[in-house]
Amino acid sequence: GAVVSQHPSWVICKSGTSVKIECRSLDFQATTMFWYRQFPKQSLMLMATSNEGSKATYEQGVEKDKFLINHASLTLSTLTVTSAHPEDSSFYICSARVDSPYEQHFGPGTRLTVT
Amino acid sequence: AQSVTQLGSHVSVSEGALVLLRCNYSSSVPPYLFWYVQYPNQGLQLLLKYTTGATLVKGINGFEAEFKKSETSFHLTKPSAHMSDAAEYFCAVFTGGGNKLTFGTGTQLKVEL
């Protein structure tokens, strides 16, 4: 149980274009989802917390106009990287909160490469 | 503010040897502590967690960790390493006030024949 999927698993896009990443909770409803970014050989950095039906809460230093997060349903949150640049290339991981505040289940991640 | 320190970004052990990955935390309130494992190009998988109760926590794949409040530590151990244990391991802390997980910088475990 508590499976989280991400789509796509990897994507290559050209500089200046936008790309959308989906995060789905497959067998449960998630009122809260999280988006993380991970650079090579580094830890996960929380980008934003996404609550169903409300605006996402972004961490300090994360550009909310560049990383658009939408949590329109209890099973789907999307991250759109707008006007992508090579420095946005990274591994993006989402997670979903299950029953308790501290219990998160992680998706498999999306590798974004901007050329 | 909460923080996590993982000593040793790379640890190498022989197959069958003891695995010890170190994690120290800083938190002004009783923490919830976690160990996750990440295989290449994959998300994180929960190994074990400490919330309350018994301080020695057993997880999947033969791993265990002990919460030591006096040492602010939550080291991860496994008696006998297997080749399949080679991965990146992250320690994380959650406190209610922050309402989020804070991760350590990770330890890459290498298992050699």
Determine the length of chain B: 113
Residues of B in contact with A107 (CB under 8 A): 43
Distance from CA of B35 to the nearest CA of A (A): 12
Q: Which of A43, A101, A109 has its CB closest to that of B43?
A: A109
DSSP assignment, residue B7?
S
Q: What is the distance between the alpha carbons of residues B40 and B109, in angstroms, rounded to a whole number?
A: 12
* Partner A contacted by B101 (CB < 8 A): yes
Q: Which of A42, A91, A105 has its CB closest to that of B105?
A: A42
User: Which amino acid, B113?
Assistant: L
Q: What is the distance between the alpha carbons of residues A100 and A98, in angstroms, rounded to a whole number?
A: 6
Residue whose tokens read 């991860």: B76
Residue B64 half-sphere exposure, CB side, CA atoms within 13 Å? Answer: 10
Q: What is the distance between the alpha carbons of residues B46 and A104, in angstroms, rounded to a whole number?
A: 9
Which tens digit of pLDDT belongs to each residue from A51-110?
A: 888 889 999 999 999 999 999 899 999 999 999 999 999 999 999 987 777 788 999 999
Question: What is the pLDDT at residue B34?
Answer: 95
Which tens digit of pLDDT belongs to each residue from B75-84?
A: 999 999 999 9
Instruction: Give the Cα-Cα-Cα angle A25, A28, A32 (nearest 5 degrees).
Output: 65
Judge: B90–A111 Cβ closer than 8 Å, yes or no: no
Which tens digit of pLDDT belongs to each residue from A34-52?
A: 999 998 878 889 999 998 8
* Partner B contacted by A28 (CB < 8 A): no
Output the furthest CA–CA distance in chain A (Å, rounded): 40
For an interface test with A, give the residue of B36, B37, B49, B100 to mutate (most A CBs within 10 A): B100
Q: How confident is the model at residue B96 (pLDDT cuts 50, 70, 90)?
A: low
Q: How many Cβ pairs closer than 8 A exist between chain A and B? A: 47
Residue A34 neighbours by CB distance under 10 Å? 26
Q: What is the distance between the alpha carbons of residues B83 and B98, in angstroms, rounded to a whole number?
A: 37
User: Which amino acid, A12?
Assistant: I
Q: Does the pLDDT of residue B98 top 70, yes or no?
A: no
Q: Does the pLDDT of residue B99 top 80, yes or no?
A: no
User: Which amino acid, B96?
Assistant: G
